[in-house]
Structure 1
Amino acid sequence: MKSALINFRPVKCTIMVAFLFVTGIFIAQEKGDQVEKLAMKKANNYVYEGNKLYDEDFIKAEMAYRKAISEQPSTVIGNYNLGNSYYEKGNYEEALFRQQLAIKHATSKLEKHRAYHNIGNILMQNKKCQEAVEAYKNALRNDPSDDETRYNLGLAKICAEQQKDQQDQNEDDKKDQDQNEENKDQQQDQQDKKDQEGDNKDDKKDQNEEEKKEGEDQKDESGEPKDEKQDKGKEGDQEPQEQQQPKPQPGQLSPQQVKSLLEAMNNQEQKVQEKINEEKQKGIKVKSEKDW
C-alpha cells in the first residue's frame, strides 16, 4: 500500500506542476494582451492627436505620429499617416519608407490598397513610372473597384512608355555620338599619317637639296669637282719618270719619222743655200722668188 502511494505522488505532483504552468501562461498572455491593448490605445490616441494637428502644425503632427509608432511599432495607421505627412512635405524617400512599413504590418486588403496607392503616387513624383505601374497594379489587386487607382495606373503606363522611348532615343544618340567620335578619331589618325608622310617628304627634299648644294659647292666654275682638279694639278706638278711615246695612229707619221723628215728638209735647204752662195761669188744672178 505504501508502495502504491509513493508511486502515485509524483503523478499528482506532475499534474499539479503542469496545471500551474498552463495557468501561468494564460495569466501572462492575458497581461500581455492587456499591455498590447493599452499600447494600441495610446498609439491610436497619438494618431488622433496628429490628425487634428495635421493641417495646423505639421511639426507637432509629425511628433504625434512618431509617438504613436514608439508606443506600437506595428501600427498601420501611424506609419501610413506619417508617410502621408512626409509626402505633403516633399520628403519622398522617408514617405516611401513609412508606406512600406504600413504594408508590412497591414492585415486587411483595404490597408494594403491604400498604402500601395500612395506608394504609386510617391514613385510618380520620383519619375519612376514603371515602378509606379507595379504599385498601382498591387493596389488594384487588393481593391479592383478603385477608379482613382485605375486612372493613375493609366497615367503611369503612358509615362513609362515615354520614358522607354526616351531611353531608347538616348541610347541611339549615344551610339551615334560614339560612332561620330570613332570616325573623328579615324579621320584624325589618317590626317596625322598624311601629315607625317608630308613631313617625311619635305625632310627628304630638304636633304636632297642640301646634298645637291654640297655637291655644287665642291665644283668649280667649269663644273669639274674641285678635289679632282686639285688631284690633277698635283699629278701635273710631278714629272713622270718614264715618258711613254705615243703610238702612231694608222695613216699618220710617227714622231721619229717626222723628225727624220725635218732633218732631211733642213739638210736639203742647207745644200741649196750653199749652192746659192757659191753662185753669188761667181757673179751669177740667181732668182730668189718664183715667177708667177
Structure 2
Amino acid sequence: MTTEKYKPQLNFVNEMALSKKGIIDEIKTDLTAMMITLDYGKDDIRYNDAIDKILAINLRKLLCEKKNNVLEKVCPDFKMPPLKGNILHCDKLSKGFCIVCGPYSLDKDINNWISINEWREQNIAYHTIQPDDVYPYFDNIIFKQICNKMKPNDKDTFKGLFTDCFLECMGKTFEGKKLKSVDYSGQLLRLLNKIGYYDLSLYTFIKHLTDKTAAHIDYNISFLIKTINANDLNIRTPIKDLSFQLIYAIKTQIPYFRDFSLQNLKCNE
C-alpha cells in the first residue's frame, strides 16, 4: 500500500463562523470607522461625497444585510428609530414626488422603535399620484426590468396593457412600449405600486449609493439618488443623520458599546 503525501493549500472555499467576541470586534471596527469619518467631516462639506460613501458602506453592512446580520446576532431584537423628518414636495421635479428630508427626529423611547426589517422598508422618497398622472410610455429596457420584478400573473397582465411603439428622446429614436388606452391607467398604477416602482426605500437608497452609479436604476434618473442625499442648508446629509441614529441605537441596545467613544478608544485594543 502506497502512502500519499498530503500538502495543505491556501484556499478561499472554507468558511469559519465568527464567535460572539469576533462579531463584537467586527461591529466595533465598523462603529469606529463611522465615528472617525463623522468626526473628520463635521466641519467641511467639500468631502461630503467621499464621507457619505464610507458611511453608506457601513450602513449597508450593518442594516441592509438580510442574512446573518451581525447586529441581530448579538442583539436579536435590535431596533432602529423610525424615519421622521420634514416632507419636501417636489412637484417641479416630478408631479407628486416627495422626499423625507433631515434633520431626522430621534425618539429616544426605544418602545417606539422598529425592527431592522421594518426600518429597511421605509420610504425616503415616494410619489403620491393618481391614475391620470401615470406616464404611459416605457423604453424596452425599463419595461423588461419592471417585468422581472413582477409575479407571473401580474407580469402577464402588465404586458397585456401595452403595445409596441417608437419613442423619441433627446433627438434619438428607440423602441418602447405604449399604454393601449388611458382606461388602463388605474390598473397600471396598482401593478407598479405593488413592486414599489414609485417608492424609494431606505434599503434601495443605501444600496444604490454603495454601488456603481446607475447599476440598478434608470440612468436617466439616477442623479435623483444623490439629489435626495444632498442637503444645501445643513452639513448633515440624510446618510449622516442615519449614521448618527445607528450609532445611538447600537450604544443604547448593546451593553458592550454603552460607553464606547473615540476618546476612550485605545490603539492596542
Indicate whether the TM-score tops 0.5.
Answer: no
Max Rg structure: 1
Instruction: Give TM class, smaller chain.
Output: under 0.3
Higher helix content, 1 or 2: 1
Bigger relative contact order, structure 1 or 2, given CA contacts below 8 A and separation 6+?
A: 2
